[in-house]
Structure 1
Amino acid sequence: MADSEEDYSSLPLADRVTHKIWKVRKQAYEDTTKEFERSGSETDGCFRLWLNDASIWKGIVADSNVAAQQEGINCLHAFLQFGGTNAGARSRPHTIPALAEKGIVSTKAATKAKAIDVLLLYIELDTPAPIIEDLLPFLSHKMPKVVAATTNVLFAIYREFGAKTANPKPVLQQLPKLFAHGDKNVRAEAVNLTVELYKWLKDGMKPMFFNDLKPVQQKELDEAFEKVKGEPAKQARFLRSQQAALAESAAAENEDEAGEPEGEPDTFDLFEPVDISNKIPKEFWDQVNSTKWKDRKESLDVLYGIVNVPRIKEEEFSELIRVLAKSMKDANITVVIVAANCVECIAKGLRTAFAKYRSTIFVPTAERLKEKKQAVADALGAALDSIFNSTSLTDILEDTMELLKNKNPQVKLESLRFLIRCLRNTRTAPSKPEVKMISDTVTKLLADTLEATRAAAAEAMGTLMKIMGERAMNPFIDGLDEIRKAKIKEFFESAQVKAKDKPPAPIAPQAAGPSKPPSKKKIVPKSAATQSQPSRALGVPATAAAGRGVPDEGTTPVKKAPVVQKLASKSQVSKLGRKPQPALTSPTRSAAATDDNAATNPPSHPKLGLGNRGGLTSRTLQAPQSNGKSAETPRAADSPSFAAEKAELERLRSERENWITENMNHRAEKEKLLHELSDIRLQNAQLIEEHTHDVLSIKAKETQLLRLRSDLQTAEENLEKKQREVDRLKRELARFSRASSPAATDLGDALTHDSFGGYSRDRTVSATSISGLSDHNRASGLSRPRNRSSLAGPPSYSLDDSPSMYPSRDSMRSPISDSGSNGGKVQGSRSDSEVRSGEITDPNENWKRAAQVTSQLKMRIEQMKARQHMRGVS
């Protein structure tokens, strides 16, 4: 056995690591690990074999023997730890799949932990993106234990390196699939991973996957989120590049800044842009301009559902913003609230791309702050905050200052609160003109009649003081009374801001050499720096410079006198006393003093110019001059140029102020014109609506008129038809009366018929009376026309007197049918002589009764006509 072991150790290392005996392989792994640990650098020869043939690591990591696999993964860890970045880049394509399938699912806890550590070491050597990209396919593996182990590795990556270093977007897209997995271990690991990501991303990550989960899973995650809501997320492990950066800079500060997130994490880049322009329905544009507020609100509700996405694709939304600006002036506050919510979503989804729409939507939104209902104020405030976040303090400042001058107290109060929020959240300190503009406007509101407005103004001044500092704000609060000053100081101490006004950096001392004329961009008037540099360049002793009022080299001149006092050296303070101002002489005075000194000192000390060799080599070769003349000639020459540059600077400043004023006037005029244009458009829309309403009313009236004309025509046709029927009945009645006129002897029977005209007749009429009546009619019958009633027969009816229609069948039969039927019987049974010999006592009585029947028939005819007319009209 000993001989065989000696033979194995004599084999080359490449053969030993691939030997069929696992003990030989295990021993080779251990020996290689020791070589890596003893290596002096990453370029040692022990790494050459493994770098040239990196595919050999695949078999080592996935060794079939558990003990050999553990030693193989230890060997890979040592290779990466001591081999550096090159070792990780060469071996990574071969080892990641093997580690995912064989290493992190090992039954041995030590092997599993070492495999995870190797994956983290790969990330530390390079970046997390390639490792995460190689691990994501294993989340779809057919074996649940591989999926669960891969999820656990991702959890370890974000726990160690954080979501700022490792991009969480690819993993967030895989979470719904993990929560829908059938294995409970996979779902449990998915919960751990999600909670870890929540520590870094907070609620901003929910829109990416939360709606795809089951309600039970959502409830479980919400409960888990509540437990870690207050936990700070801190990066525990850093990349090699981050470690190098921390080593070069202040390690402690940079480590804290890298480990602790500032405020709410930004998850905007995690989401894909959504194209909302294609999702807006065509009927939205008509419905949003409807005269009914419910239609307008429903259209805006549909729009809110479309724009309520984390990120919106940048397109042209000018028309949509104008519609929302018009909705801000709507009379119904529910429409205003939904419109404000839409503006907030669009501003958040576009971020900086929304800045070009600020001039259209900002003023209409802010002017609607006059509503006193808190729900409206909250919606409008959120919309204004989103507009500010997409722009900057400078962009919204002018409009906000105009709002603070509004006559409506509610607008002033809410505008002040909006300004306070802007000052708290801005990351750029306002400029000096902006500070003056804010202070001049807000200090006037400290004397407002409303207590809430006065308190908000004091808070705004305190927040601004927190940004700029007490000293910068002293000129603006000096004229205030002590009570208001105390109130401002109180808010100043409690204010929390994100921006700080940075003081100007001190000027670094220049190297010895010839002085240069001051630049136009940075002019330091009355500074000792322009005087001390030529002296030092020409080798002037420090004592001589101090005697002329020039500070020594330890002094760092700056613009502000307090900084100069702070940086002055002890020797200067001892010579100049408590006030170093005399040392900061003007160039003209310095030049005059130098000329006097040069006149009294003859040029007999050329060796003083050689006191500083560096200053001599930086000058052109000239004849040696006296110390005073050579030291101060450049300053005498610089004095006119300095004055000219100062005048130029003042001119440029005045031009800049004029330009700013003109620009503000132009902006104000532009906003006024835009406001007028918006009002004109609103009036135009109202006129169009009124015109449409009038047109619809006219059309309705025309339709009603046409319907009435049609009804009238139908009634006329019915009347005409009835009239023709009446005429036909009249003609037929006349024809029947002519054709069946009875003899005079039959008149008594016709008149005594019970159903004549529908009335009962008196049967006591005698034959004599009828015969007498007939004789009387014979005598006068020759002189009367045939169409009138005669005594020879029953009375005939004219067109006016004859009935057109009879109410009953019996009345229609009498007297025509009775006269026709009964007349024949009378003629057949009685003779003329018998009739003439009949007893008629009173002939006038019969005529009266006939006239009465006739009048009754006429009345019935008129009633029938009236009834027919009523039916035709209806």
Structure 2
Amino acid sequence: MADQEEDFSKLPFSDRFAHKNWKVRKEGYEDAAKAFEKTPDESDPIFKEFTFDSALWKGAVLDSNVAAQQEGVNALCAFLKYGGPQACTRSRNATITPLVEKGLPSVKVITKQSSLEALLLYVELDKADPILDDLLAGLSNKQPKIVASTLTALTALYHAYGVKIVEPKPALKSLPKVFGHADKNVRAEGSNLAVELYRWLREAMKPLFWEELKPVQQQDLEKLFEGVKSQPPPKQDRLQRSQQAAAAKQAATPKEELDDESQGVEEEEEVQAFDLAEPVDVLSKLPGNFQENMASAKWKDRKDALDALHEAANTPRIKDGHFDDTIAVLAKSMKDANVQVVITAAHCLDVLAKGLQRSFAKHRSRIMPPMLERLKDKKLADPLGSALDSVVASSGLSENMEDIVEFLKHKNPQVKAETLKLLIRSLRNTREAPSKEETKSIAGVATKLLTESTEATRNGGAEVLGTLMKIMGERAMAPYMDTVDNIRKDKIKEYYESAVVKAKDKPKPAPQPPKTVSASQKRPAAPGARKTAPGMKPPAKRPSTPQSEKPLTSPAPKAATGKSIPSKLSGLPKSGLAGPKSRLPGAGPVPSKLTSPRRTITPHSDEDLAPVPKLGRGLAGRPLGKPVAAATSSPPPTTHQAGPSAADIAKLEELRAEKDRLARSHEDLRADKQKLTSQIHELRNHNAQLIEDHTRDVLSIKAKETQLVRARSDAEAAESTVQRLQRENERLKRELNRAVRQSTGSPLSSATADDGMGIYRDSASSNGTRYNQHSGIERLNSSASNRRSNYLGSPSEEKENGVFTGGEKAQPPPSFREDVGSGGENVDEGGKPVENWRRATEVTNQLKARIEQMKAKQGLQRQR
């Protein structure tokens, strides 16, 4: 009973934490948590005992009683929450491993949640690296439930803090081992961790572990990744203490002073595969005969060497080394006559620039001009464009701006067009806004491209200006848009609205005007100087008040006279003594010219003005006793020292606001004027276009009318020609009929008299022979024989020795006399036959013999 009635609450926490009774330990944990919550700050003495003796927390986390363990983990969370960074760094070495082995896999849900909260607090208070090392060590535990709970804790850490706080590479390298685990719960938690990492890293995570997975595992993960691809980029859910302090500072800082900084905090760059990968030594993997093969005369050897380089360099991250010789070889390959060699060299440059990143910038000047020059070949536009994008991304747009602008003026249109596309892509992808000089250079060359002859180049120039305007802003691009006509301005505006860029110009804040309060605060120091004890040395020099810091109210005349003494002689006219004939009391006549020598006058404070002696005659020798006495006897006016009043400040602010309103109104009117002017120009251009179209239509109509008149005249001429030919044809028919009637005494048949050439058509159809280019004898023979048979006698008449004996001999027509040549020479005009028909027969036989010879000759030629 005595033990039960004993009050353990008076024992120190160290004794209660180590007590053999679990109830005492449990109550000790609860009391410690309540005591931590009541502490005013981290320096409370109650934290000292637990800070120096971290074994107390190890025992609390490893408590054998599950109820006491739950309260012990809760007490640890309260200790970390209120104890600060020192509580974190002193206790984590003793508590992380027990939390992984005993707290996370606990059977009680509250203990699991408290253990996970403790791990999150450790990361919140300091850094994640020590916590991550102990958690990854838990993945090698033999118990599957510990491995699964550790993976759950890792997923929670990445979900809360992201990959910027918690390093993702160790977890990614352990995923292949997790997916090969025999327990399905471990594999399921590994899939959850992979999906969480994919939310942050996307495709950049795959090079570290993807090749070590089985195809089935890759397919399963791809299905899980599909649900994440459509989600927006994740943000950090939980902030570290340092981030919380920075956020509180930002909340207390005025917004106008925080614009640039807040933008830099909000815009986080995506994690690239380069940041996660380990550097690879590419030079050691190159074959020993690489340089020899590149110098070979055979293009196949050169391509094989470049293929070997591409295979070795195709890695996310390359270790920097002596790549000068390799880059020189690739630059030389840009001039290779074989297209395949140039394409492979471009692929090598692409992977080298991506793998070296900033280390590739020192090789840029050697490789950039040859690549831009080779853009003249259309077949190489795509591989060279990809390589150029990588080079610009690795070295920055500013470093390559000079080469790009120079090649935009190239005489080859293909080079100019591809360089223009490169500039547009670079402006879209750059994260640093161009400087004012670079903006001027880009805008100048792009404005000139707007007047090119090819439409693609003009559109490219407009797109450059629109993209640059998206980065720099409309106000910064206004001076370059004044020389552009309205039609092109509309085109540039379209590209400006549709452009997607990553960089934004962050103009420096305008310098604030000097504060008048500081000047007015410095002035009251003068009366205090008069109260200094005697014997103290006055200051050697009195700081002069700037002109801009003078008060609004004008000072009294006496005070101004007293303050003009330490000034130079050139400042005397400002004191009201500018007239050359003005006389000072007690001074001699004023000379016409100031001939006194220049004296160095040391300014003194106001209390030293009284003992100043006379300086002599002239302007500088006026007596100073009276003004000084007045200055010393009467205190300085308060209006001169206190600065502007509240009413003056309010009036000044009102005037400034009115000035701003007038400036805005002026800007609006100016914008309206520009808009109306642009509309006038557009209407004028439209009117000119309509007039041009009308003139062109009128000219076209007149040309068509002229063509129609000419066609009509040609038709009339053709019609008259046809009529004349018809009349001639009729006349020839009549002449032929008359000649036939005279020769035969009877009209021709309808088959013969249809046209003037019917005799020849009948004779040709009956004999079947044609006149050829070799000789016209066949036609002559056939026509002559047929005409003899048709016109010289009837079929019953017989011929003896080539002479007709029976019947009356017929007179052959004139056409027959022309065909037989000399055979018709003996025919008189009356048509009576007086020729020798024997001679005609001989001529005919000779012609037939000639015809046979020619046929035989033609037959031999055909056989050959």
TM-score between both structures, scaled by the size of structure 1: 0.59
1:502 match: secondary structure = coil
Question: Following the alignment from structure 1 to structure 2, what is the Cα–Cα distance between the partners of residues 259 and 144?
Answer: 41
**Distance change (3 Å), C-alpha of 1:250 and 1:603:** farther
Letter in 2 for 1:314: D
Equivalent residue number for residue 650 of structure 1:
none
Equivalent residue number for residue 327 of structure 2:
321
Q: How many residues align?
A: 555
CA contact (8 A) 1:514 1:619 kept: no
Equivalent residue number for residue 135 of structure 2:
135
Equivalent residue number for residue 409 of structure 1:
413
Matches within 5 A, 1:340-489: 340-373=346-379, 376-489=380-493
CA contact (8 A) 1:513 1:537 kept: no
CA contact (8 A) 1:234 1:259 kept: no
Equivalent residue number for residue 509 of structure 1:
514
**Distance change (3 Å), C-alpha of 1:79 and 1:436:** closer
Equivalent residue number for residue 599 of structure 1:
576
Question: Following the alignment from structure 1 to structure 2, what is the Cα–Cα distance between the partners of residues 399 and 256?
Answer: 34
Q: Which one of 278, 281, 285 corresponds to residue 275 of structure 1?
A: 281
Question: Following the alignment from structure 2 to structure 1, what is the Cα–Cα distance between the partners of residues 70 and 99?
Answer: 11
Instruction: Give, in angstroms, the shift of residue 63 of structure 1.
Output: 0.7
Letter in 2 for 1:347: A
Question: Following the alignment from structure 1 to structure 2, what is the Cα–Cα distance between the partners of residues 278 and 78?
Answer: 55
Question: Following the alignment from structure 1 to structure 2, what is the Cα–Cα distance between the partners of residues 494 and 256?
Answer: 26
Confirm or deny that 1:623 pairs with 2:627.
Answer: no
Question: Following the alignment from structure 2 to structure 1, what is the Cα–Cα distance between the partners of residues 108 and 383?
Answer: 58
1:541 match: secondary structure = coil
Equivalent residue number for residue 219 of structure 2:
219
Instruction: Give, in angstroms, the shift of residue 619 of structure 1.
Output: 7.1
Question: Following the alignment from structure 1 to structure 2, what is the Cα–Cα distance between the partners of residues 206 and 196?
Answer: 13
Question: Following the alignment from structure 2 to structure 1, what is the Cα–Cα distance between the partners of residues 423 and 140?
Answer: 51
Question: Following the alignment from structure 1 to structure 2, what is the Cα–Cα distance between the partners of residues 164 and 603?
Answer: 80
Equivalent residue number for residue 55 of structure 1:
55
| 1:450-493, Cα deviation, whole Å (9 max, x unpaired) | 21111111011122223333333333332222111221222223
Equivalent residue number for residue 27 of structure 2:
27
Equivalent residue number for residue 796 of structure 2:
none
Question: Following the alignment from structure 1 to structure 2, what is the Cα–Cα distance between the partners of residues 94 and 45?
Answer: 21
Confirm or deny that 1:247 pairs with 2:254.
Answer: no
Confirm or deny that 1:490 pairs with 2:494.
Answer: yes
CA contact (8 A) 2:8 2:24 kept: yes
1:316 match: secondary structure = coil
Instruction: Give, in angstroms, the shift of residue 539 of structure 1.
Output: 8.3
Letter in 2 for 1:415: T
Instruction: Give, in angstroms, the shift of residue 67 of structure 1.
Output: 0.9
Matches within 5 A, 1:562-581: none
Q: Any gaps of 5 or more consecutive residues in structure 1?
A: 516-532, 546-590, 605-616, 628-874
Equivalent residue number for residue 835 of structure 2:
none
Equivalent residue number for residue 17 of structure 2:
17
Instruction: Give, in angstroms, the shift of residue 534 of structure 1.
Output: 5.6
Question: Following the alignment from structure 1 to structure 2, what is the Cα–Cα distance between the partners of residues 25 and 504?
Answer: 61
Instruction: Give, in angstroms, the shift of residue 178 of structure 1.
Output: 1.7
**Distance change (3 Å), C-alpha of 1:128 and 1:217:** same
CA contact (8 A) 1:36 1:79 kept: yes
Letter in 1 for 2:510: A
Equivalent residue number for residue 148 of structure 1:
148
CA contact (8 A) 2:519 2:549 kept: no
Question: Following the alignment from structure 1 to structure 2, what is the Cα–Cα distance between the partners of residues 97 and 603?
Answer: 96
**Distance change (3 Å), C-alpha of 1:99 and 1:514:** closer
| 1:775-829, Cα deviation, whole Å (9 max, x unpaired) | xxxxxxxxxxxxxxxxxxxxxxxxxxxxxxxxxxxxxxxxxxxxxxxxxxxxxxx
| Structure with more relative contact order (C-alpha pairs < 8 Å, separation 6 or more) | 1
Question: Following the alignment from structure 1 to structure 2, what is the Cα–Cα distance between the partners of residues 154 and 534?
Answer: 66
| 1:275-299, Cα deviation, whole Å (9 max, x unpaired) | 1111001133233344443333332
Letter in 1 for 2:576: A
Q: After alignment, is 593-602 or 354-363 more displaced?
A: 593-602
**Distance change (3 Å), C-alpha of 1:34 and 1:258:** farther
Letter in 2 for 1:505: A
Letter in 1 for 2:492: I
Confirm or deny that 1:231 pairs with 2:232.
Answer: yes
**Distance change (3 Å), C-alpha of 1:242 and 1:262:** closer
Question: Following the alignment from structure 2 to structure 1, what is the Cα–Cα distance between the partners of residues 327 and 132?
Answer: 41
Question: Following the alignment from structure 2 to structure 1, what is the Cα–Cα distance between the partners of residues 473 and 7?
Answer: 81
Equivalent residue number for residue 294 of structure 1:
300
CA contact (8 A) 1:25 1:68 kept: yes
Instruction: Give, in angstroms, the shift of residue 73 of structure 1.
Output: 0.6
Q: After alignment, is 94-103 or 260-269 more displaced?
A: 260-269
**Distance change (3 Å), C-alpha of 1:621 and 1:150:** farther
| 1:31-58, Cα deviation, whole Å (9 max, x unpaired) | 2222222222223333232223221111
Question: Following the alignment from structure 1 to structure 2, what is the Cα–Cα distance between the partners of residues 393 and 129?
Answer: 35
CA RMSD of aligned residues (A): 3.4
Question: Following the alignment from structure 2 to structure 1, what is the Cα–Cα distance between the partners of residues 490 and 394?
Answer: 35
Instruction: Give, in angstroms, the shift of residue 361 of structure 1.
Output: 0.9
Matches within 5 A, 1:792-811: none
Letter in 2 for 1:370: K
Letter in 1 for 2:170: P
| 1:719-765, Cα deviation, whole Å (9 max, x unpaired) | xxxxxxxxxxxxxxxxxxxxxxxxxxxxxxxxxxxxxxxxxxxxxxx
Question: Following the alignment from structure 2 to structure 1, what is the Cα–Cα distance between the partners of residues 439 and 242?
Answer: 41
1:249 match: secondary structure = helix
Question: Following the alignment from structure 1 to structure 2, what is the Cα–Cα distance between the partners of residues 154 and 171?
Answer: 8
| 1:599-631, Cα deviation, whole Å (9 max, x unpaired) | 349999xxxxxxxxxxxx99798638999xxxx
Instruction: Give, in angstroms, the shift of residue 163 of structure 1.
Output: 0.6
Equivalent residue number for residue 92 of structure 2:
92
**Distance change (3 Å), C-alpha of 1:369 and 1:54:** same
2:494 match: secondary structure = helix
Instruction: Give, in angstroms, the shift of residue 221 of structure 1.
Output: 1.9
Question: Following the alignment from structure 1 to structure 2, what is the Cα–Cα distance between the partners of residues 534 and 13?
Answer: 68
Instruction: Give, in angstroms, the shift of residue 595 of structure 1.
Output: 5.6
**Distance change (3 Å), C-alpha of 1:256 and 1:440:** closer
Instruction: Give, in angstroms, the shift of residue 16 of structure 1.
Output: 2.4
CA contact (8 A) 1:235 1:259 kept: no
CA contact (8 A) 2:207 2:273 kept: no
**Distance change (3 Å), C-alpha of 1:472 and 1:13:** closer
Letter in 2 for 1:171: A
| 1:266-320, Cα deviation, whole Å (9 max, x unpaired) | 4433222111111001133233344443333332222111101111111111111
Q: Any gaps of 5 or more consecutive residues in structure 2?
A: 523-542, 556-567, 586-602, 611-623, 629-864
Instruction: Give, in angstroms, the shift of residue 115 of structure 1.
Output: 0.4
Instruction: Give, in angstroms, the shift of residue 508 of structure 1.
Output: 4.8
Equivalent residue number for residue 544 of structure 1:
554
| 1:322-378, Cα deviation, whole Å (9 max, x unpaired) | 2112222233333322211110111111112111211211111112222324xx322
2:320 match: secondary structure = coil
Letter in 2 for 1:283: N
1:238 match: secondary structure = coil
**Distance change (3 Å), C-alpha of 1:112 and 1:619:** farther
**Percent identity, aligned pairs only?**
52
CA contact (8 A) 1:514 1:618 kept: no
CA contact (8 A) 2:519 2:545 kept: no
Question: Following the alignment from structure 1 to structure 2, what is the Cα–Cα distance between the partners of residues 318 and 330?
Answer: 19
Question: Following the alignment from structure 2 to structure 1, what is the Cα–Cα distance between the partners of residues 519 and 605?
Answer: 11
Letter in 2 for 1:401: V
Question: Following the alignment from structure 2 to structure 1, what is the Cα–Cα distance between the partners of residues 548 and 414?
Answer: 69
Question: Following the alignment from structure 2 to structure 1, what is the Cα–Cα distance between the partners of residues 95 and 485?
Answer: 75
| 1:150-169, Cα deviation, whole Å (9 max, x unpaired) | 11111111100111122222
Confirm or deny that 1:339 pairs with 2:348.
Answer: no
**Distance change (3 Å), C-alpha of 1:538 and 1:117:** closer
